[in-house]
A and B are shown apart, each in its own frame.
Chain A
Amino acid sequence: MRSLKARRILGNTLIYLLLIVMSIIWIAPILWLVLQSFSGDGIASRVRFVPNTWTFNNYIYLFSNFTNKVDPNASVSALDGKFFTWFMNTFIVAIVTCIISTMFVLMTAYALSRFRFKGRGIFMKLNLILGMFPGFLSMIIMYWVMKEIFHLDGSYWALVIIYSAGTGMGFFISKGFFDTISKSIDEAAMIDGATKSQIFWNIILPLSKPIVIYTILTSFMSPWGDYVTSSYIVGLQNIDQWTVAIGLYQMVTSNDYVTTYYTQFAAGAICVAIPTTLLFIFLQKYYVSGVTGGAVKG
């Protein structure tokens, strides 16, 4: 008995040690980024784990129209003071997309869960097949459609349409959740004279709060962090229409910008990460329930 207990304690200590080491690995890059955002060294702080000089200026420059004062010789650059514009662009795109796509997803999921109609099976399988094509390829045509038909050439509103139009396909997790809500509730309401639409709005939706929040969270996250689509559709010419992803990517990879904007990139990245991180920490419960439910239901 004694040896068993000792073994258990040893095992638990090992697990704690492992978890602590892993936590450090998981947190370190993000922590490093936070430190970089307070660095006053400019590009030189890239090689250090902890910056030499500390400053809050990166954040100030990011949101003000000043030219970069870290390097007095640096010329006035195109990206100065644009970050707030990008941030607002992204915010608008993400919010509008989030509203539309949440509606689309929930409605599709409800229809597929509660109705049996022609073509339902095909629609369910379509998701699997469509996912196999690289979605980026369809941007070749979407660029032209946005330009010629919608006249939204290089505008972030084109992104709203592209992000939200096809989101009906992401119904799987919500459908799985709706399936778990007993159908006898529907029947009881129907006997009381409720129509199907009343059942959806007044009974099913209030009952599925976790999945609604999960859907809102994920449909906010995907436009917020998207780079591929936005970079191709908006293009590199219209700096005023950029989203944060394009801007930050340019700041850190383009050779013209990286020397001046490196620490500002770190500050910007933290600014972009804060809203989603806060959302995640507060709504973690719902996110976990959504992910788990989706996995169980397939």
Chain B
Amino acid sequence: MGNIEKNDNIVEENNRSESEKADNKEALVKDTNNVPNNAEESEKSSNHEMSTLFKVEKRNDEDGEETELIPVPMFVLMNIGNALLKGLLWVLDLLLSMILSLGHFFKMIGVGAYKGTIGIYKFFRKKVIQFKENDLSGRLSFICFGASSFKHKQYVNGVLFVLFEIGYIVFMICGGAKNIAMLKTLGEVQPGPDPSCEDMFCDWVEGDNSVMILVFGLLSLFSIILFAYIWNRSINSGYNNYRIVNYIKYKEVINKNVEFSNTLDGQVSEAVNEGIKKSDFKKSHYVDLENRLNEHNDSSKFEEEFLKIAYYETIAGSYEHYKLLAKENTKLEKIENKKERVLENRKIKKESLNLEIGSNKEIKFNQITNEKGRYYERKIKAQENKIRELIKKHASYVGKESVINDSKYGRFNIFYKVRTEKTNEIDFYKNYSRLVEVYENSKGNYVQTNKENLARKNSMKDELEAKIKDINAKYDAIVNKKKSLVEEMNKYSELQKQEIKKAKAHSKENGQNPKQLELDIKAKYFGKISYLAGEIHNLPSDKALLAMRKEEIREVEHSYARDRKYLKTNFTELSFARESVVNYMVVEYNYDHKFAERMLHNIDIVDKKTKEHSHLSEEEVENKIQTISKELDDFVESNPDMYVGKPKSFKEQIASLMNENFHISILALPVSGVIFFVIMPLVFSIIVAFTNYSTGHIPPTELFTWNGLQNFITLFNAAPDSAYAALPSAVAKTIGWTICWTFIATFSNYFLGIILALLINKKDIKFKKLWRTIFIMTIAVPQFISLLSIGVLLKDTGAIGSWWVNTFGTKLGFATDPSNGALTSKIIIILVNIWIGIPYTMLSTTGILMNIPNDLYESARVDGASTVTQFTKITLPYILFVTGPHLISQFVGNVNNFNVIYFLTGGAPNISGSPLPVGNTDLLITFIYKIVTSNNNPQFGIASAIGIVVFIICAFFSIIMYNKSGSIKSEDQFQ
């Protein structure tokens, strides 16, 4: 677990450093804009730096440091200690994350409960509003489903609603209520011969079947949820119909509401800044609300209610928000202050240290200072981002309740669109004479415009050239700078070489240690050379420079080309007049461009035969205005309520099931399948854990009933004198083995699979497909076959088992030897699981391995990383990051891995003395299977209790892994 986190961090760091580099590059490019002007200066400064270099003194002498050799035993001890420390840290990390996960779990429960109550409160408040502000049919839909649908001519809908309601009432009366009532005892009539008769030939009483009572009772309970859902649908459809019908009115209210909410929000922010408490704020500002409401005295109750909602929403939301914002802002200030303080301190310290300019110490000091500064800058940036995000969030929050999406009114928009188009047309004909004037006037100007455009085009060419020149100069400057830096560095390394040579020659004469001398010289030059190397490294690479230059030039050229395209120089008289009229319409009358182009043919009418151009006469224009006005009136009349939309008809609703509501039609069957065949049985199996459904209580001949936590007590704390006294120890053993198995199986498969994938995908390895096919065989052959045959093979009666006896003289003891908790069997099971499991991992990681960017490896190789380091630092973190969720499902799958255990050993060898059939190699899941299918003593209640234990184990470890893995939280980022 610790590994996962560390590796995640590494990936993050890599990303961060890369982005920083990119930032640096940008900054450099910007900086170098000034370079051409200051070229001389920079040269000077570099000269200066060079001259200072010779002042550098021997670092080692000054500090008096000496490197000591560590004795070998110490070294070994240190390594062991290191490993121990790492292990300890890992364990601590695991423990901490467990505690954190628990905390997270409880937090989730708390938040869930809080959100749930708030949600319920909001739901009912919404219902109240929906009831208050509605017409009669809408209110009726609270009791009679579909009343509103009938009013708005959605007959089929209405009939369905009514049928459901009647059907549900009938169902409840006929059996549903009885089913729920019977849940209390799970049946009272004992099946068997009729107890009232004493005859030999008694009637057989059918009696109650506890299982079926439980099933039908649960279904009836579930049907209540369904009923509530349909009830809600009915109310919502009534309310939506009402809103669609009164769309304009509704819209006005919403606008007012948003406005009000915004002003209120401003007041809240002021109040928070002044330090007013929330409660005081409520009191003092409630008066304001009342005034507001009085202002809208003539308005409906609808408005009042909405205003009130806006009030509460805004106060509740924005008060907390502004408080948070204030807190974050103070944090930001603190960081800024701290940064200033730190830098100030550094300055003072530097002065007090009297560092020589250009010395190693100075360079190091500057480096540290810069790093600190950068650290704080990064922090400030992050904080600013946080604040920005908060503000963004808030913007969507204010008036949230009131901004309800308008998509439901799509049909209304069409009405609106037609209406505006018609009115625009009337407007157009009213301004017709003015437009014709513009048209005629602009005819003569085309020559002039052509000339102007041509001149502009030519000048643009020069501009473009100048710009490209600039760009080239900019990049040349960078290249030159880099060149000079490289030269300088080469110079120094040359100097260093020479000096070392000299020193070596001298050392023979003087009898000094040549290695020591060499080290001294290297130390002398180290600062300067590494500084230069860093500078060079910070500049973008040659390739990148070339690419950036090309990119920038292309961009400039592209934008110029685009501009040139629109500068027409071949205007004719007509085309220019047309263009200017369209522009005039768009600019002066705010017409849509498309609309303007469409209306153009009414200004410039071309006769088809004579090809002559003409305009409409005044009379014709008048006629047009009249006809369009009439059309508009007709259109409005044909929609009986001019400002009213229409709810969807049944036909449209059915059509929408194939279109925008397609998800409902394709999800209906799968989701109901999941609900009735997965979730409901699961709920049932949880409930059975609290009953005594077991031997002596097996339907259909016997009844069972609730027994509280008795099953759990039997499992974990059975009374010492009861029949199940030995069960808790067996269960504890099984749980321990299950957890152990899960971890070993999951991680061994995972890592070995990755290694196998690496081996097969190595560059030089041939026959990749053949290898893959061979390993796929274990997936292709059904597991029950391969595992059963391996089980036969390994047992003492099988080929390998008997071979073992013949060669080693002892029995292998697979599935028979119970010594050491059946350790042999367990090890063999894990090995077989590797056999069957790693092909899956190999397949799933193959693709990911190919996606890892190759330059990561290249740079690692340049830095001298070994293959193992490359694997642990690059491959593994990358794969872990991508397959985090996969690992969780693998984990859960291994807890419930029935096949491997059951087919290999069947749980054998048995744990002696256990009252229920359980073996040493049994997992909880196979244990459950054995208890349930046992012929003599089936214990369904205890099996279900174990099922809950399995769930708790899975949930616990999954939450830990979930918190640790990064990619699972960002499901949408892949889209």
Interface residues of A (CB under 8 A from B): 8, 12, 15-16, 18-19, 22-23, 25-27, 29-30, 32-33, 36, 46-49, 104-105, 107-108, 110-111, 114-115, 117, 123-124, 126, 128-142, 144-145, 148, 161-162, 164-169, 176, 179, 195-198, 200, 221, 224-225, 227-228, 231-232, 245, 248-249, 252-253, 266, 269, 272-273, 276-277, 279-281, 284, 287-289, 291-298
Contact = CB atoms under 8 A, between A and B. Distances in A.
B840 to A, nearest CB: 7
A272 to B, nearest CB: 6
Contacts of A114: 663
B789 A29 contact: yes
A252 to B, nearest CB: 6
B771 A29 contact: no
Nearest to A43: B797
Given A130-B679, A132-B950, A298 B971 contact: yes
A181 B676 CA distance: 32
B647 to A, nearest CB: 20
A49 B835 CA distance: 19
A292 B753 CA distance: 13
B782 interface: yes
A148 to B, nearest CB: 6
Given A144-B699, A252-B792, 16 more contacts: A15-B762, A19-B759, A23-B775, A48-B799, A108-B667, A111-B666, A140-B685, A166-B674, A166-B678, A168-B667, A197-B665, A228-B902, A269-B789, A273-B780, A292-B846, A296-B883
B780 A276 contact: yes
Most buried by B among A129, A284, A291: A291
A134 B658 contact: no
Contacts of A131: 889, 892-893, 896, 954
A95 to B, nearest CB: 16
Contacts of A12: 762, 764-765
Given A179-B975, A227-B899, A296-B848, A281 B780 contact: yes
Interface string B952-975: 001100100000000110010011
Most buried by B among A15, A49, A123, A295: A295
A144 B212 CA distance: 7
B424 interface: no
Interface residues of B, number: 108
B782 A144 contact: no
A249 B903 CA distance: 9
B883 A197 contact: no
Contact of A134 (B659, B670, B676, B925): B925
Given A272-B782, A291-B843, A295-B847, A142 B681 contact: yes
18 contacts: A15-B765, A29-B790, A32-B793, A33-B785, A108-B670, A111-B662, A128-B892, A137-B688, A140-B684, A140-B932, A142-B677, A224-B782, A225-B782, A245-B782, A276-B780, A281-B780, A292-B846, A294-B844
Contacts of B74: none
A165 B681 contact: no
A82 to B, nearest CB: 17
B776 A130 contact: no
B677 A46 contact: no
B781 A30 contact: yes
Contacts of A272: 782, 785
Interface string B698-740: 0100000000000000000000000000000000000000000
A249 B784 contact: yes
B35 interface: no
Given A29-B793, A142-B681, A166-B677, A8 B764 contact: yes
Contact of A276 (B665, B674, B686, B782): B782
Nearest to B949: A134
B762 A30 contact: no
Interface stretch (B18-26, B50-58, B316-324, B939-947): B939-947
